[in-house]
Structure 1
Amino acid sequence: MDGTANLDVHTLGIIGLAVGATIALSFTLLSMVLRGMLALHIWAGAFWLLTLAGLAEGYDENGSFLSAIVGSVLIAAANGAMLGGIAIHIKYPLRWRWPAMLIALFLAIQVAFFIAPPPQAVEATVFGVKSIIWDVWMIWLLLFRAPRELKTGCAFTALVFVIDTFFYLARAAISLHPEMASHAMLASILTTSNYLFGILCTFLLSTGFTLMLAQRLVHDLRCAAEIDGLTGLLNRTAVVRESNRRLATTRGRTNSALLFDLDNFKAVNDSWGHAGGDAVLKHFAETVRASGIPEHALFSRYGGEEFLLLLPGASPNTASSLAESLRTRIESAPAPYSGEWIAFTTSVGVCSSTDPEVHVLIQAADEALYRAKNAGRNRVEVA
């Protein structure tokens, strides 16, 4: 019976190593394709650390230096890598000294246990507590610090860590039971379940991380399709779509649109080069955003050196006053470039209407902008 149990543990250990190596290799190959995703590289390293920990610990849990110290520290390092990868993925500013301190503390405890071995129940409890600390930390990041657009993948991965937490709580409770030491079969079953759960958890974690990566890719692709890469504003397609959605909620109310054109922008490019022109475009966008425009306003790069500011629910007087304020602000705020200043101005066309169709507003604002440019530029014209 003992021989069969040992064979089962050995077999499970080999299966676990094969699963860990396969997942680690898959993440490594994927990271070679998606080179810009740092979290993916870190998670690939975490799975390799778990695989090496399985090799170091062996299958008979004999308490050697390799299994007790090296294997345990590799597992702690893998947990730290997973935590760090999650923080990078959700763009949370993690202070790395805290994971490092936790790994160092666990290493010190393992060395103490190696020198003076405690009862097995105590050792199992310490390992469980350490695992639960990592799990709770990662659950907190995934559920309470992840951005809204990544919530689905993060919630699934958090569920995996919740299951892992409950497993270690149950395992610690069983290990601390007073009759545990006298039940060899129960101890064997506990060891076997530990391997089975480890294999299952590795599969689920790889699925969770993959889902998180897929969500990040979809979000980044959507942003690339909707966001102007130079200014960080919505592009023309995105602002028209979003404008139609917002104006549909303001039926019967007056909406306003401000269409800006940077005056003599070709001359800026000719004098300062395209890098100078880019600096002017970025400075214009930053200046308008910093001017305190309404929170519900939509500001976009409409095309080339043209910018659109949509003001749902704004009256004609409010729109005209804001346009003149922004024109004056731009005139008095040259763009910094290579230690010098590039002075520029803007012409603005303003339109206010109760028509819920955004193209009506834009067309009228464009006609007003055309008049402003023909009248000498650096001025506001109202449709």
Structure 2
Amino acid sequence: MDYLIALVIILQIYETTVMETPVDTTIKLTESMVLECVYPGTGKVTQVSWVKGTGPQKVTVLVADSIHGVHIDTMYKEKVDFANVSSSSRDMSLQFHRTSAADMGYYYCSVHTFPDGIWEKVIKVVQSDDFGVAVAALHHVFAEPGQNVTFSCQYTLGSKVKQVTWEKIRGGQIDTIASCNLSDGKIYGSDYKARMLVDCPNLTDSSTVVIQNVSTIDEGLYHCRFDADTGNQTFVMNLTINKEIMHHLFIPLVAGGGGLLLLFILITIITVCLVKRKRKKKKKMQLKVKCKFSTRPQTMNSYGRPTYPDKKVKARAPGSSQTEDIYVNCPDFSRKPKMKI
């Protein structure tokens, strides 16, 4: 009898542990789904493992090593894809194909790094019926990129609060940002530890979170859920990042850069044209000097011999004082007069 009592106690403890398993992300089961696991640290990734199940009933889906490659369990070889095995990669996501009800459950992504140690993310895959947002957004928050955004909510039902959970909704996925409960205290979601602050002292009827350095990826719906003795209460807020600020800064830069680029191209074209024109003019002048001569008789130089002894130049009539230059095409060569000894 004592053994049975002990066994019942153990089972109760196990069930409580399973039910209270902290979940970083909840995903709706689809035919093709991606379990996102992106390591946010800067350490060197040495090994990654994906495990399905809770408690002693766990199945290793795959183990990836930067040196030894990827090992996938026989049950999942035709069902999952895993591309990142490099130690420099941070994305350890797992993609499923042709899923079924058997693929629902808890998945653990464990990233072994040096010198940071082990970083883990827990993902829960649920049926479509268990996933949804039934409450409309009550507050709309606008923010600029790089700002810190503060969300606050207050419990109004009056009963004792046991837990407060902050979540982000995006498509078919719910990410846990942070939670506070009586037993574990303050817990951050794996993807938000580095830039999240949460205030929930002694689980009072109010809670506040601060998301630091927001960007467009932080847009979406945010849940604040109070779990109390008599039920729960949920508040929904919508965050929109003001992209016009980015456009106002980006457009002048692009326009200025485009104007400078166009001006540079025009200056380059004009310079090239001027250089070509100058070279052509210089070449023409050189050819003119080499191939130009007068129709007047060549006088003998101090050496007593004309420059072109083999050519006879016909002189003009004595009464004519007009000279005419004749341009001819000639090869690029020169004939030096012989020296008189």
TM-score using structure 1 length: 0.19
More helix by share: 1
Structure 2 length as normaliser, TM-score? 0.21
Q: Which has the larger radius of gyration?
A: 2
More strand by share: 2
